Amino acid sequence: MRELREAIIHLDGSEQNVKNLSLDIAPDIQQIGDDVTRFTLECVSELPVKTPVYALLIALIKSNSEEFGLEFSEKFLSRVGEALEHDLMRLDEDKDARTRVKLLVRFIVCASVTNLVSQASAVDVLTRFAEKCVAMSKTKACKNQLNPKAWQPRADFLATVVLSALPWSNGSFAKGTDEVVQGMYKEFARTMEEYMGARDPTFDKCARVLLAKTDSSKEEEENKNNSHEPDALEELWGRVNEADKRGLKGWAVAGIVGVQEPFEQELFSFSTVEAPKITIPDYEEYLNSDSAATALTKFPSRPRLRVINRAQTEGGWEKNDWQPLERFVAEEHVVDTLWAFEPGFRRAALHPATEQLATLPLPADHPERCQYLVAETCFGELLNLPRPRFEPVFYHVVIQDLCKAIPSFPPKMAKTVGELFRAMDRLDEELRERLATWMAHHLSCFDLVWPWKSWVHVSEQPDGSPQREFVRTLLRKLCDLSYPKNVKESIPEAIYDLLPKEAKTINQAYVDSVNAQTNNAIDTIREMLKAKTPSDELEQWLKESSGGLTAEQCLACVATAILVHGQKCITHLDTLLTRYDILLRKLIDHSSTKARELLEAIVNVWEGSQNAKIAVDRTICAKLCDIAFVAEWAGMKYAENPVLYSDTCGYVLEHATAEEEHALERTRRILHRVHDAEREAEAAGQAAERFLADGLMHEATRAQTAEAAAVELAASLDAGASEMKQFVTVAREKASEITVLCARSCVLKAMELSDQTGADARLNKRIERLLRGFREQLAGKESEVLDACGGKGANPLAFACERALLSTSSKFSFTVEAAHKKGTGSVKNGRDSNPKYRGVKLYGQEKCRAGNIIVRQLGNKFHAGPGVGTGKDFTLFALRDGEILFKKGAGKKQFVCVVDAVERAAATSRKTKRRELYTPRASAAVESR
C-alpha cells in the first residue's frame, strides 16, 4: 500500500504515466479499491493543482476494469459526496473544511470533463449551491442582529465555491453539444444572477486593500451614480459572463492542462455515473445567531489587490491572447498552493511552498505576467483585513525564497511594492504597519539593498503624511533587525532625519520625577532591593520612613524601583516580582486606584519599548492585576495616546483571546485524531470482511481486534473533544467580556476628549482599526460599544465604530484603481543560481527502469558500474531494468550498478547469506518463548 500511495502522490499529467498506473490498478481494483479511494481523495485535498489528473485516473480505472470498474467508480463518487457533506457540516468549526469543499466541487466538475460523471448531474450539483444562496438571501434578520444582511458572507462563500469550479469545465456546460446540459446551465446562470442582484457588494469593506481616492463633491455625486468597483465575487461573475459571451474560445484556459485529450476516444466509449446528490445544510442556527462580524470572520472575502497595470498582468483579452478566466485560475493555483504547503497545515511537508509556486502550470507564453500575478496575489494575501489567513512570517519567507529561486522575480516584486508606496495614502494604517514589517524583514535578508533614491522626496513632505510616516516606521523596524550603522550607510543622506533616535534603556525623566515626589524613596528602595531585603522588612520601612506618603505613592515608588532594578533582563524582573508579590498585593489592595500606578509605572519607565508589554504580561501572569482591569485601563490610555499605547493595548487584548485560541487549536488536533481513528477503524473493518470471505480466520480476528481498538480510541477522543468545546465556549465568553470592557473604555475616553478638544479624525481611524481587529470577540455585543459613543450615526466616532463592527453603511464605498505609471523600483541582487537538487535519487535494492536517474552529483563521487551510464554533468542513469546495487571497488571507489535477480544473488556477501540461513540465538530464544 505504501508503494501505491507514493505512485498516486507522484503521478504527473503525462500520458504514459497515467495510462500505466491505471492499467496496474485496474486488475486488482476489487481488493485495493478502498485504498485507492482513500489515497486519491487525500491527494485531491492536498495537491489541488493536479485535480484534473486524479479525475482522469479514476475515469481510466473505470474504463480499464470491465468487471468492477463501474462499481468502483460509484463507490468512489459516493465517498466524494460523503466527504463533501461532512465538510459542509463543519464549515463553522474547521477553517480547512472551507477549502476542501471548494476542491471537492472542483473535482466533480473535472470528473464531468473526463466522462466519469454525467455533465447534467454535475450542473445539478452547482445549481443546488446557487439555489441555497438564493434561499439565504431571503432570510429575515432576527431582533438580536443589528445587520439585516448577516447571511451574506456565508452565501458569498457558497457562490464562490461553484463559480470558482466553472473554469475547470472548459466551457462544456455552457457551449457543449448537449442541449439538455446547456438548458440546465442557463437555469443555473439565472439563479446566480438572481443572487448577485440580492447581495450588497459594499457589505465587506475589508474585501479591498486600497481605499477610494478623495474627490471633489461634484465628482463624488457622479461616482454615486456610476457603477462601483466590483469586489472579488462580482469580478469573478463578470469574468464568467464575459467568457460566455466569447463562445468556446472565451473558456480557454492555458493554466488548466487538458490531460484527458489523448484518451477522449477511450473515455467516451463507456457510460457515465451520476454525481452524488449533495444535501446542503440550512445553517438556521448560525443564520439566526451570527452577527455580521462573526459571519465575516468565519467567511472572509477574498482579498482583491490591483495595483499593476492590467496590460502587464493579463493583457487585453485579445483573440490569440489570454482570456477572461486565465488570471483567476492563476490566482487560484497560487492561493491553493499556499494553503496546501503552509507548514501549519502539513508539518511533514517535504516540498516548501516556494518550490511548488515556482513549478505551477501557469501559461509559459508570458512569464512576466505570471510573475506579476504571483507578486500581486502574495501581497494581497499578506495585506488581507482584518488579518491574513496565515501568519505574516509565512508570506515573508515565501516572497524571500521566490526572489532567491527566480532571478527575474525581484524586479516584479519591487514594482509591486513601488505601486503600493505610491498609493500609500489609500492604504489602511494597519496595512502600512504590516507592509513595513515585511519590508524590514525582507531587506535585512538582502543586505538592505533597495532603490532608496526614489523615496528621497519624502524628506520634503510634512510630518504625518502617509509616505513619510511609512519610511519612518520602516527605518525604525530595520534598526531593530539590523545594525543602525549599516542602515544609515545604505540610505541617502536626505532621509537621515527619519532614522530613530538612539534607544534609551529607561525613561530617566519619569524616574527622577517620581523620586522627587516621594522624598528620594526610590534610591533607598533600590539599595534594599540590591541587598535582597525581605518583603516584610521593606513593608516595615515604608510604614516607618515613608514620611506621610499615600498608598498610591508607595505603590508607584516600589513599582518604579523594581522596574529600574530589574531592567537587566526579564528573568531578573520575574524574580523581583515573585519576591515582593505579597507587598505589591497589599499596596494594590490599599490603593484607591487599584493597580493603576503599577501599570502607569510600567509604560512610563519603558516608554515606547518592547519591554513594556512584556512587563504587563508578567504582571498579569503573576496575578498582580486582573486582566479585565488591565484591559479597561489599556483602552482608556489608547484613547489618550494611540501611538504610545498601541502595542500595549493590542498585546493585552491578544492575551485575553490567547486562551480561546489555544483551546481551539487543541480541539482541532483532537478532531483530526478522531478522524484518523475513524478511518483506521473503517479500513480494519473492511480488511476483516475480506479475510472472512477468504477464510483467513486468524487474520480476520486480528483485524477485528484492531477495529475495536480504533473505535474505542475514537470514542474516547470524541468525549475529550466535547469537553474541549465547552472549554472553548467559556473562554470565548470571557474574551468577549474583556474586549467589550476595553472597547467601551476606549470609546468613552475618546468621547470625553472630543468634548474637550473637538473631534479628532485620526483618533477615530485608530479606534476603528483597533475594533476591526477584534470584531470577532465583539460579535453580538456591538450595541454595547455603539451605545457608549451615543448610538448609530450620532457622531464621527459612532460612524467609525459602525464601519468597524457592522460594515453596513454604503456611504463609505471603497474602490481600487490600476496603476497608470511605470514603476522605477528594482534591486541589485538576484544573482543566486537555480537549485540543482543533487543527491542520490534511487537507493540500493530499489527497482529501476531504463532511463531512470540514480544520482545527480558534481564530480565523480559515485562511478558508473555495469548497467549504468554517465551524463555530461556527471549524472548517473540506468541503462536497463533491474535493481540498484552500491558496491566498493579498487581504491575505495564507490560504484553504482544495475543488476537483475541472478546477479543480485551472486553479489550478496557471505555474511548476508549466513544471516538469512541461520537465525541468531537471541531471536530463536524469543521465538521459543
DSSP secondary structure, 233-277, as one string: HHHHHHHHHHHHHTGGGGG--TTS--TTGGGHHHHTTS--BPPP-
Under 8 Å between Cβ of 247 and 329:
no
Beta bridge pairs of residue 886? 896
Of residues 390, 445, 439, the one with CA closest to residue 416: 439
DSSP conformation letters of 867-896? TEEE-TTS-EEESSSEEEEEEE-GGG-EEE
pLDDT at 739: 83
Pairing mode, if any, of strands 862-864 and 853-856? unpaired
Q: In the prediction, which pLDDT does 167 show?
A: 92
- Burial class of residue 535, CB neighbours in 10 A (0-12, 13-18, 19+): middle
Q: How many residues would you count in the chain?
A: 929
For the domain with range 313-498, which CATH number is right: 3.40.718.10, 3.30.70.1400, 3.40.190.10, 1.25.40.180?
A: 1.25.40.180
Pairing of strands 876-878, 868-870: antiparallel
Strand partners of residue 863: 895
In DSSP terms, 69 is beta-bridged to: none
- 3-state DSSP assignment of residue 848: strand
Residue 62 pLDDT? 85
Per the model's pLDDT, the better-predicted residue between 547 and 461 turns out to be 461
From CA 554, how far away is CA 714, in angstroms rounded?
57
| Kind and range of the H or E run holding 558 | helix 551-565
- Please give the distance of CA 833 from its chain centroid, rounded to a whole number: 29
Distance CA 610, CA 608 (A): 7
The per-residue pLDDT for 129 is: 93
* pLDDT greater at residue 177 or residue 101: 101
Rg over alpha carbons for the chain, rounded to the nearest Å, is: 33
- The three cell numbers of residue 658 are 490567547
d(CA 665, CA 659): 10
Cα gap 139→35, rounded to integer Å: 43
Evaluate whether 1-207+231-298 and 508-625 have a shared fold: yes
How large is the average pLDDT for residues 637-649?
A: 73
In the 8-state DSSP scheme, what is residue 168?
Answer: G
Q: Peptide bond preceding 410: is omega within 30 degrees of 0, i.e. cis?
A: no
DSSP string, 354-375: HHHHTT----SS-HHHHHHHHH
Q: How much is the pLDDT for 132?
A: 92
Please state the three-class secondary structure of 590-651 as a single string.
HCCCCCHHHHHHHHHHCCCCHHHHHHHHHHHHCCCCCHHHHHHHHHHHHHHCHHHHHHHHHH
CA distance 112 to 885: 46
pLDDT score of 208 more than 90: no
Confidence label for 458 from pLDDT (cuts 50, 70 and 90): very high
pLDDT of residue 124: 93
Give pLDDT tens digits for 339-348: 887 765 443 4
Residue 362, pLDDT score: 83
Q: Mapping DSSP to helix (H, G, I), strand (E, B) and coil, where does residue 738 land?
A: helix
- Amino acid making up residue 170: N
Closest C-alpha among 251, 89, 99, 252 to residue 185? 251
Domain spans of the chain?
A: 1-207+231-298, 313-498, 508-625, 653-805, 839-917
> What is the β-pairing status of strands 876-878 and 847-848?
unpaired
**Cβ neighbourhood burial of 360 (10 Å; 0-12, 13-18, 19+):** middle
Give residue 110's Cα distance to chain centre: 26
Q: Give dist(CA 444, CA 441) in Å, integer.
A: 5
Residues with Cβ within 8 Å of 838's Cβ and at least 6 positions away in sequence, in order, are 856, 857, 858
Higher model confidence: residue 110 or residue 765?
110
Does position 125 have pLDDT exceeding 90, yes or no? yes
pLDDT at res. 314: 87
d(CA 686, CA 220): 67
Output the CA angle 349-352-357, nearest 5 degrees. 130
Position 537 pLDDT exceeds 70: yes
For residue 207, the model assigns a pLDDT of: 59
Record the cell numbers describing residue 724, joined without a space: 474541549
Question: Which one, of 776, 252, 583, lies nearest residue 591 by Cα?
Answer: 583
User: DSSP class of residue 864?
Assistant: E
Burial of 408 (0-12, 13-18, 19+ CB in 10 A): exposed
| Side chain identity, residue 74 | E
Nearest-angstrom CA–CA distance, 168 and 69:
24
Which of 91, 125, 97 has the alpha carbon at shortest distance from 109?
125
Residue 374 has pLDDT above 50, yes or no: yes
Better pLDDT: 425 or 795:
425
- Range 212-240 average pLDDT: 63
Lookup: cell for 914: 549466513
Q: What is the pLDDT of residue 296?
A: 80
Alpha-carbon distance of 552 to 531, in angstroms, equals 25
Contact residues for 241 (Cβ-Cβ < 8 A; gap 6+): none
Q: Which residue has the cell 495585506?
A: 383
Structural contact between residues 70 and 77, judged by C-beta atoms closer than 8 angstroms: no
Spatial distance between the Cα atoms of 295 and 26, rounded to a whole number of angstroms: 46
Question: pLDDT value at position 206?
Answer: 60
pLDDT number for residue 502: 61
- pLDDT score for 438: 93
Reported as type and span, the H/E element at residue 663 is helix 642-694
The CA distance from 449 to 828, in Å, is 7
CATH fold of 1-207+231-298: 1.25.40
Q: What was the pLDDT predicted at 133?
A: 92
The amino acid sitting at 16 is: Q
| pLDDT at residue 911 in the model | 47
User: Using one digit for the tens of pLDDT, what is the confidence trace for 42-67?
Assistant: 888 888 888 999 999 988 888 887 67
Give a three-class secondary structure readout of 483-535.
CHHHHHHHCCHHHHHHCCCCCCCCCHHHHHHHHHHCCCHHHHHHHHHHCCCCH
Is 124 or 678 the better-scoring residue by pLDDT?
124
* pLDDT confidence bin for 833, thresholds 50/70/90: low
The pLDDT score that the predictor gives to residue 378 is 92
- Report residue 907's pLDDT band, with 50, 70 and 90 as the boundaries: low
The architecture in CATH of the region 839-917 reads Beta Barrel (2.40)
Burial of 420 (0-12, 13-18, 19+ CB in 10 A): buried
- Residue owning grid cell 468565519: 298
Mean pLDDT, all residues of the chain: 80
Q: Report whether 134 contacts 162 (CB < 8 A).
A: no
Q: What is the pLDDT of residue 835?
A: 63
What DSSP letter does each residue of 392-450 carry, written as one string? HHHHHHHHHHHHHH-TTHHHHHHHHHHHHHHTGGGB-HHHHHHHHHHHHHHHHTTTT--
Query: Candidates 1.10.3720.10, 1.25.40.180, 3.30.1330.60, 3.40.50.620; correct CATH number of 508-625?
Result: 1.25.40.180
> 619: burial class by Cβ within 10 Å (0-12, 13-18, 19+)?
buried
Spatial contact of 889 and 895, defined as CB atoms under 8 Å apart:
yes
Res. 610 pLDDT band, cuts 50 70 90? low
On whether the CB atoms of residues 616 and 630 are closer than 8 A, the answer is yes
Distance CA(376)–CA(372), nearest Å, equals 6
H/E element, 916: helix 910-917
Percent of the chain with pLDDT over 70: 86
Position 205 confidence tier, pLDDT thresholds 50, 70, 90 = low
In this predicted structure, the answer to whether residue 817 has a pLDDT above a threshold of 50 is no
DSSP label at 304?
B
Q: Residue 821 has what pLDDT? A: 36
Place of cell 482570456: 323
